[in-house]
């Protein structure tokens, strides 16, 4: 997967990657995570493709809570509903809040 610093990433690069259906990871997204994810989503949907946005590690945390006494059950239900609502996406956008990265993975191959 190609890794790109967000500071050097532009619209032309994004269009090229999306048109060629490539996966990539954006680095250094700490204070621009929300805006960058919104831009990626708008760009993907603008090309008549579907995307699913998720937070990396969230399903694992919810599962651990469920196994530890049921506190993760509501989170698991929410994750399941979200996955059903965004079935068969062209791209998945994974926010890694700890490492300040965004993974954009093409899923249709």
Q: Is the pLDDT of residue 61 over 50?
A: no
Instruction: Check residues 17 and 69 and name the one with the higher pLDDT.
Output: 17
Cβ-based burial of 67 (10 A; exposed 0-12, middle 13-18, buried ≥19): exposed
Beta bridge pairs of residue 5: 27
Q: Domain residue spans in the chain?
A: 2-106
pTM value is 0.76
Q: What is the pLDDT of residues 46-60, one digit of tens each?
A: 999 999 999 987 544
Cα distances (angstroms) measured from residue 98 to each of 9, 43, 66, 102: 21, 25, 22, 11
Radius of gyration of the chain (CA): 15
């Amino acid at each position: 997967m190609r890794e790109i610093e967000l500071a050097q990433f532009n619209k032309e690069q994004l269009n090229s990657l999306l048109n060629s259906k490539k996966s990539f990871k954006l680095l250094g997204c700490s204070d621009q995570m929300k805006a960058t994810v919104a831009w990626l989503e708008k760009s993907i949907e603008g090309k008549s493709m579907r995307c699913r946005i998720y937070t990396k590690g969230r399903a694992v945390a919810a599962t651990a809570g469920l196994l530890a006494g049921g506190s993760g059950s509501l989170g698991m239900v929410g994750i399941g509903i979200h996955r059903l609502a965004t079935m068969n996406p062209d791209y998945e956008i994974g926010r890694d809040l700890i490492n300040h990265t965004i993974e954009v993975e093409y899923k249709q191959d």
